[in-house]
Structure 1
Amino acid sequence: MQVAICSDIHGNRHAFAAVIAAAREAGVDEMWCLGDLVGYGAEPDACVALADEHCALVLAGNHDLAVTGALSLEDFSRGAALAARWTQQTITPDTMEWLSELSPEGTRQGIGLFHASPRDPVWEYVLSNLTAELCFDSTDFRVSFIGHSHVALSFTREEGEPASGTTRRAGTELDVSVHEWLINPGSTGQPRDGDPRAAWLLLDIDAKTAVYQRTEYDIAGAQAAIRAARLPDSLAERLQYGQ
């Protein structure tokens, strides 16, 4: 069984549609989304519609929870809060209801799925070996997928050894048949690891391999949508730099 895993779409229809097309071309059986369908980008309704049509599982991210009112906007940066308020005022009632039904954690095929981390599915950024170590201690899943940080990376822990991890580039293949793993596919809609291409991951459940992917998309189109919506220009500018 082949699965495409993506995260942090952030209202970027152009990136999400490109990843869906690439995943279809790769012959995947399912798509899983680890949350933050909305926030920052200017096409939230379209992203939710794509997820509803193509994803077998979708988690709630902190930006999704902010838009539905489950989280206070006081906990967000100025740009994130502005985008969340704009999204609240723009999306359809059906989109709002759809987002309201999502959870920040789940499981499929015996794999742990969390928007942020096993310890804190909503807010925790897993960017250090120490945080990864604590996350491994907090879950019974041997393999978990996480999002939230917008950085493609992975951490692993061999029995009797401390956790270790690194960022990952397109084409890197992980053997997840042994050891414990925390794997972040990177952000589809707003990468922050210096590569502006949409990030996702191809998981082969039978072969127990995970391969990092990057897909070109119409960055200018996504930027134009943000500017047309009069969202902060920084949200458009950063897309071309992957920052």
Structure 2
Amino acid sequence: MANYQVTLIGAVGSVTAYDEHAIVRLLNTQQTLMFHGDTFTGKPTTKIYIDADNVLKIHEEIRLELRDALRWATQALVKEVNYQVYHPQKTWFVVESDSSPSVLVGNVCPRLRPLHELLNASEIDISTRLDYFQQLFHHYFRLAATLKIRLDEGLSNFGVTPTGELYYLDDDVYIWDRYMSCAHMLGVYFRGLLWLNPQIATQLGHIVRQQILKHFGDAQYLAVLAEQLKGIFMPNKRQLQILDNFINALPLKQQPSNRIGSSKDRYLALLGDVHGNLPALEAVLAFLATENIQQGLVLGDSVGYGPHPSECITRLADTRFVILKGNHDHALATNNFKVGFSKSAAWALTWSLPRVNAEQREWLSDLPPVVYAENWMAVHGSPLDPTFFNAYVYEMTYHDNLGVLEHKKIPICFHGHTHQPGVYGRRGISHILDGFYTGKEITLDQFSHALVCPGSVGQPRNGQIGAQLAIYDQVERKVSYHNLPYNFEVTVREMQIQGFPESLIKMLTGRT
């Protein structure tokens, strides 16, 4: 039997329930081996010692001098106090042993019943199981929203007290990855929990929706999670129905059906980045009326940068076009543009805020971030981005974005955000032949996959003056690019009157 010298660091709660003698007693019990799917799971470098009421962990991979071990354990405790997901009696300590030259770090806490066992226990009713999930997702989304960290979603990483409180058991947390791991683990739940039927999946979807709205305060993230889930593998019809019911329970409002998908119109107008420039928008709409083109996509950012946010919303809402959400639309709808926007962009959004009414902000909020049709998809930003409107398609990212299209078996993605008219195309199966193509007309049949940007209606950034758009010929699979003259002086004059930053005014006049 080894001799141990234990130094207590402290408990997650205010008072520890353990002393040095209790920890030494546990250290002298038989080590418990861990196996995947068993009661205790974990990394091979973690040693577990248990009795009927307690679980003690030693992190074998952490071998430090005493001073460094004390600092490491103290930092771990401070973080866990802040997280508020651990049992309040969880206690950190360091231990010196005559059998080891290094000081080891560990923790001990009351033994909880693992969630993966409880959820399959016959004595636990459905209401109680859903309550456990409610507690799990409360912890999960609270930390994601406030600290941008992610708990390990595996059910074995959570335990429940005899009185029903759920706590996190794993000592590790991870960087928040914007719902990607969340979606994959939900798929594991749907495939593995045999008691989960489509009706219960709807209830679970309502729980997740409630917790996302509670902690993020933004319905956009419901759409983000729903889109992530659409790519999750389900092996049979029953599990597909479970997935569908869960997804359908997420949105606050069902988006209108895709009017373009069933359209027999040959030509599809592509409008990107109107950015509150009404004269430019009117020029584009007049041109389309002359060409008798009635179907179109507005690829996000109807507002921002320009002096006519309310007028552009009203005009676009009156069209038959399918309108997507851009990052400026989302920022104005949520009044959240402190991060991710330039000084001039934030100024324009601040100016725009009192000039759009509540109904228009709701309209912006309800815009879909992505639209799918039979042979294409459409986003504001990039198909690789989980939010679909923050990331860019450009020289450093277009290979990966073409790879996403290849993986999804979607030949074309229409996008905005870059304000640069042109096509990134892939020829064949190798990205070696990927490239960027510009011109008045580009045939898409030469590509296996293509990322198509029409430029910007309201703020071109390729040195041209005018209102840019593109028209997609759905029969010949060609994209034609247009740059229309319009009275940009009207927009410039209004921006000057309203005191807009000079940098935004210069973009409309071709000066940078």
Distance verdict in 2 for CA 1:204–1:242, change over 3 Å = farther
Q: Among residues 137, 141, 156, which one is paired with 2:403 in the alignment? A: 137
Tell me if 1:221 matches 2:490.
Answer: yes
CA shift for structure 1 position 178? 4.8
Q: Among residues 282, 300, 303, which one is paired with 1:38 in the alignment? A: 303
Distance in 2, Cα, partners of 1:173 & 1:99: 32
The aligned residue for residue 151 of structure 1 is: 420
CA shift for structure 1 position 74? 2.2
CA shift for structure 1 position 233? 2.6
Distance in 2, Cα, partners of 1:184 & 1:137: 17
Paired residue type of 2:308: E
Per-residue CA deviation, residues 38-68 of structure 1 (Å, 9 max, x unaligned), is 0010001111111111242101111111111
Q: Residues 425 and 437 of structure 2 are in contact (CA less than 8 Å); yes or no, is this contact kept in structure 1? A: no
Q: Residues 192 and 242 of structure 1 are in contact (CA less than 8 Å); yes or no, is this contact kept in structure 2? A: no
Superposed structure 1 runs of 4+ greater than 6 Å apart = none
Q: Residues 294 and 320 of structure 2 are in contact (CA less than 8 Å); yes or no, is this contact kept in structure 1? A: no
Equivalent pairs, count: 241
The aligned residue for residue 84 of structure 1 is: 349
Gaps of 5+ in 1: none
Paired residue type of 1:57: V
Distance verdict in 2 for CA 1:41–1:181, change over 3 Å = same
The aligned residue for residue 436 of structure 2 is: 166
CA shift for structure 1 position 185? 0.5
1:13-162 correspondence to structure 2 within 5 Å: 13-69=278-334, 71-120=336-385, 121-128=388-395, 130-139=396-405, 140=408, 141-162=410-431
Paired residue type of 2:340: D
Paired residue type of 1:197: G
Distance in 2, Cα, partners of 1:237 & 1:133: 32
Q: Residues 8 and 150 of structure 1 are in contact (CA less than 8 Å); yes or no, is this contact kept in structure 2? A: yes
The aligned residue for residue 210 of structure 1 is: 479
Report the TM-score when normalising by structure 1: 0.93
Tell me if 1:235 matches 2:504.
Answer: yes
- The DSSP-based 3-state class of the residue aligned with 1:151 is coil
Paired residue type of 2:467: A
- The DSSP-based 3-state class of the residue aligned with 1:155 is strand
- The DSSP-based 3-state class of the residue aligned with 1:73 is coil
CA shift for structure 1 position 231? 1.9
Gaps of 5+ in 2: 1-265
Distance in 1, Cα, partners of 2:489 & 2:368: 32
- The DSSP-based 3-state class of the residue aligned with 1:200 is strand
- The DSSP-based 3-state class of the residue aligned with 1:202 is strand
Per-residue CA deviation, residues 113-147 of structure 1 (Å, 9 max, x unaligned), is 0101001111211111x511101222321111111
Paired residue type of 1:137: G
Identity percentage of aligned residues: 27
CA shift for structure 1 position 71? 4.4
Q: Residues 427 and 434 of structure 2 are in contact (CA less than 8 Å); yes or no, is this contact kept in structure 1? A: no
The alignment's C-alpha RMSD in Å is 1.7
Q: Residues 66 and 73 of structure 1 are in contact (CA less than 8 Å); yes or no, is this contact kept in structure 2? A: no
- The DSSP-based 3-state class of the residue aligned with 2:351 is helix
Report the TM-score when normalising by structure 2: 0.45
| Structure possessing the higher radius of gyration over alpha carbons | 2
Distance verdict in 2 for CA 1:187–1:181, change over 3 Å = same
